[in-house]
Amino acid sequence: MNRLMKKETKKEELIGNLGNNMARSSNSRHFHEMDINERLDYLKEYCLDDNDLKLLAEGISLENAARLSENVIAIHGMPLGIATNFKVNGKNYLVPMAIEESSVVAAASNGAKYALPEGFTAEWLGNVTVGMIQLKVQEPQAVKRKLMRMKSDIIEWINDTASSIVKRGGGARDVTFSIVKTARGPFVVVYLYVDTVDAMGANTINSVCERLAPRLKETVGGDYILRILSNYAPEKVARARATFSKDLLGEDCIERMLDGYALACADIRRATTHNKGIMNGIDAVAIATGNDWRALEAGAHAYAARNGRYAPLTHYEKDTKGNLIGTIEIPIQIGIVGGITSVHPTTKIALKILGVTKAQELACVMASVGLAQNFAALRALAVEGIQRGHMELHAVNLAMAAGAEGKKADEIAKRMVAEGRISLEYAKRLLEEYR
């Protein structure tokens, strides 16, 4: 066995030992039981080196941060955690998640645990990013017909502009034309469908739209208005599925979860919160990997309302054996090259920890995280209420808000949990006792 194969085998063993609570080895500890240094040592065992660890400790410099945004005065940090127990399409993953909300990483790990030993099966239907060019013309129908006759020329123009993507196997896949009626009158809208390979493609598509618009104006007359990509991405839908065992959950738990899911299907107030829980997980992975979580949010909620009524992005039902089957269908507009992924040191390390080699693979992991997150929240709500586990983890935040630091904050949090009195006021009172 060569060195690379040995390293990959070691990686799979470590991930399995760290993540699989139901089949843990006798000499391994769960990731959440380790201190930070032990976790970093584990990561170093299979993928990180000393330089990676240094970059994790230092993060992005203030000087470089000022190049990424405007009017920069500081770096606003966010915790970077690791979700365990994830097996997607037969491969084990440790999943980096950047989020400040208590219990999200723990919930994702717990939800994924219930999907073991088979884990999640997932697919991504494609990486086509859509750009839009709005044309204001005198005779929309005539212009549309003319553009339709020019379709092959327009595709050639797109590929000339996006030649770097064409070289990597992407490029224009289609062009369509619509007349969109608005309060300001009808516009001809040109939709460009471009395979952006492993890039999210926003900058590329925006550049293509801006360069193509003047050529269209020159050809058909009138004027162009908007030239930009769309964040509604049904061409990038990811699907994930998992079986959650009746033996682990219990029949009553499954029935209560299905009752809760039924409410989300019927009540927009619940459906919105239901989907917010999904995005807790997906957004956290997006931030960790340098992807645009705002685009993901916009696309997901638009997709949830695509049939004219806002609905859950997940679906639950029982199989013939009484097990709970969970599925998710959600647009995932992401990339693993270009943009912030190429310049942010922590983002590079997060992708290294994940070990994904294609945007498709990352999309499958992210959809699985969204399903695991939603399952864990639905189970908690149906069985014990969401606040029990959340507030136990939130107790440390309250202790810190009261002014406690380090081990003192941990001790105050443990006492609040033990006494069932988790509040900022009680944390302040306990801090006074410690002084």
Which residues are the active-site residues? 101, 276, 292, 390
Phi and psi, residue 285, nearest 5°: -70, -40
Alpha-carbon span 292 to 302, nearest angstrom: 16
Map residue 54 onto helix, strand or coil: helix
Question: Are the C-beta atoms of 284 and 297 separated by less than 8 Å?
Answer: no
Contacts 24+ apart (CB under 8 A), 176-180: 177/144, 177/147, 177/148, 178/144, 179/140, 179/141, 179/144
Alpha-carbon span 411 to 399, nearest angstrom: 9
Q: Which amino acid is at 372?
A: A
Phi and psi, residue 76, nearest 5°: -95, 105
Alpha-carbon span 324 to 239, nearest angstrom: 17
Helices (H) and strands (E) counted in the chain, each on its own, are 18, 10
List the structure tokens of 121: 């099966």
List the structure tokens of 272: 């919105």
Find the angle CA(21)-CA(114)-CA(386) to the nearest 5 degrees.
105
Question: Are the C-beta atoms of 201 and 209 separated by less than 8 Å?
Answer: no
Element (H, E) at 193: strand 185-195
Residue 6's contacts (CB-CB under 8 Å, 6 or more residues apart) are: none
Is the backbone peptide bond immediately before 140 cis, with ω within 30 degrees of 0? no
Q: Where are the beta strands (DSSP E) in 230-323?
A: 237-244, 314-318
- Give the torsion through C-alpha atoms of 192, 197, 202, 203, to 10 deg: -100
Identify which of 107, 356, 104, 87 has the alpha carbon closest to the alpha carbon of residue 243.
Answer: 87
Phi and psi, residue 124, nearest 5°: -125, 125
List the structure tokens of 261: 């899911």
Q: How many CB atoms lie within 10 A of CB 58?
A: 10
Phi and psi, residue 228, nearest 5°: -165, 160
